[in-house]
Amino acid sequence: MDNKKLNTPMGGGKLSNKKRLNEQQLNILESLEGVNLVVAGPGTGKTTTIQYYLSKLVEVKGIKPEEILAVTFTNKAANEMKNRMKQMNIFNINISTIHSFAVSLLRKFSPPGYNRDFSIIDDGQGYMIIGGLIKELSIGEHPSYVLERLTLSRNLRNKEMLEKDGLKELYNRYMKILMNKNLMDYDGLLTWSQYVLAHNWQALEYYNQKISHVIVDEFQDVSPVQYDILYNLVKKNNNLLCVGDFDQAIFSFRGSDVSIMLNLEKDFPSLKTFYLEENYRSTQRLVKVANKLIRNNTIRRDKQLRSTREVGIGHAIKVFDSEKEEAKFIASVIKKGILEGMKYSDFAVLYRVHLVSRTFEEVFSAAAIPYQILGGVGFFARKEIMELLAFYKIILDKNDNSSFFQIVSLFKRCIGINGIDYNKGIIPNFIKELENEVKLEKIYDKIINDTGYLNFLKKDKSSEGERVLDNVEEFRSVVNSFDKKNTSIAEFLQFIDNTKVEEDTNSVKLMTVHTAKGLEYNNVFVVGTESSLFPHYNSESKDAIEEERRLFYVAMTRAKNRLVISYPKTKIYRGSTKKLKPSPFINEIGNGISFFDVLHKDNFLEVKKKPSISLVDKNNVVEGMVIKHPLFGKGKITSISEDPSKDTMVEVSFFSGETKLLLLELADLETI
């Protein structure tokens, strides 16, 4: 390659003063025609590569922006790319999600039986229609499960799945109802777009003339129906750039099929494959250990991911006696990091399933660590948990109408109670019976047994239904732990109220690994990595295990500087202590270096002399003591107690008007 091209990647013009690209990126920019596949490892600058590819198509190749379709898989990614192109003074490229493109296609070429002004229904509307059809056809499945199966079958283009599930007749009636009312659901946008391009030659000809180049980001996540749409758009002009990473394919539950990327050459024999292997995100040791893990997969092609950064520290494995100890230790590490000048937003806690967040929410709230849950809500703010809490709240306040209506709604869904039953006093009598229970877990058991709530939830076999069921069963562990301390209902609810998610951007981020895809943080904790969660207990086939390993790989490669992988040896499950084993993926990557080295090298959490201040501890704390908190300011300790783990909790009434329940050992309260 001409060395001049390396120094000025775009060969002059508007682009000559842009950031320098590496040789692998420059090679891609030399292939502006034909079908090109870019295998882009994590942190290798794929978005920048796409940005400059689009720029060169317009400014060097002379392609009109209107003739380019760039497909992303989230609105956030589409907006980011639009902003990047705007900064380069390039406008009018069609940058959109595949669903947004499908809407524009169907507005112009409506399928048989539809008008162009069709309406798009949301999941709630689809749920209602499916629910009615389930009753009409006497199908013993939950609407959420049926909707999930319809989504999967349509994305996979697998009609046999519907026949096997006994849902073919329901699907046909569902589609007929939508068509008669000129409605489309989210999945129908794709299936109808595929149909139009396959059967309407005018539509196909229109887009073949309109679109000369197609660029697809996150190509590993395409489903068969999405691929069919893209294939029809490019098969004439034959100009396609696909960017993705088969090692980060983690959405098969939505219908994504990584084999499409791996077998692209079968449809396009002249395919050119490029690799982006220079990782700008993570240190060399972190990249090395991630490579070690993912090479255990067979559904992939080898790539030589390497870091452009320093050697760094690497990863560490930490084992704790319990989930509470795991959360407390991580909280202490974060607080020490803040003392050393780091920001809360430098830290992220990743987990396989949402319910793992519960203990971290409790501990972070008690330690006054601001946190945000990305891609979800806090454990105690989840609908199913708030319904359970409604029973506890109404015991204390008979006039709590909000809680009462939540209880009525739960009874109605679970056992079909109606207005007549209510007038007979069934619910009021049930509430009176709850008042006779002293133990929190006894109240829980009576709610579950008398309403049949668990049995009702078990009918929903969808992935969301399983998450809801897990949360409700996890709630038993919560009340069981509080009963061990003889916690009253009022104290319990106060603790829950103290557990609140912060909206501040400078906060620790908590999220599932699926949500973390595409993000990066200086310090990453991958927690709850026991064998029953990583791989997930539903992952039984070889392909499913490989996807779980890819998910673990995604988690590891979010870390820029430090990676800590941890799990508890025991956890409370359904009121009993359960012993846990480490994820097999931990054995595949090895133990790494010592945990101490991860925390104390390279100026991170180095021991520094602290100012001579006197902190409150369990030996000198007394009620009425005036203290100062680094975040909330001055206040007075109004009560002292122990939580279920025998940790000292203090309630502080701050002079600002706030009242906080804090974990003393992590609260950093200064005596004044």
Q: Which residues are annotated as a binding site?
A: 40-47
Burial track 535-548 (b if 16+ CB lie within 10 A, e otherwise)? bbeebeeeeebbbb
Burial track 339-359 (b if 16+ CB lie within 10 A, e otherwise)? eeebebbbbbbbbbbbbbbbb
The 3-class SS string of 219-247 reads: HHHCCHHHHHHHHHHHCCCCCEEEEECHH
Q: Quick count: other Cβ atoms within 10 Å of Cβ 180?
A: 9
Contact 389, 493 (CB under 8 A): yes
Picking from 55, 113, 112, 115, the residue whose alpha carbon sits closest to that of residue 88 is 55
Q: Quick count: other Cβ atoms within 10 Å of Cβ 20?
A: 10
Picking from 565, 623, 552, the residue whose alpha carbon sits closest to that of residue 591 is 565
Give the span between the Cα atoms of 334 and 507, in whole angstroms.
11
Q: What is the dihedral of CA 460, 464, 468, 474, to 10 degrees?
A: 120
Sign of CA dihedral 381, 385, 387, 390: negative
Q: 203: burial class by Cβ within 10 Å (0-12, 13-18, 19+)?
A: buried
Binding-site residue positions for ATP:
40-47
DSSP 296: T
256 backbone dihedrals φ, ψ, rounded to 5°? -65, 145
Bridge-based pairing state of the strands 68-72 and 213-216 = parallel
Report helix, strand or coil for 370.
coil
Give the span between the Cα atoms of 603 and 597, in whole angstroms.
11
DSSP 632: T
Report helix, strand or coil for 407.
helix
**Residue 641, strand partner residues:** 649
**Residue 96, strand partner residues:** 71
Enclosing H/E stretch for 526? strand 521-526
Picking from 622, 660, 614, the residue whose alpha carbon sits closest to that of residue 640 is 622
Angle subtended by helix axes 542-556 and 284-294, to nearest 10: 180
Q: Is the peptide bond before 224 cis (omega within 30 degrees of 0)?
A: no
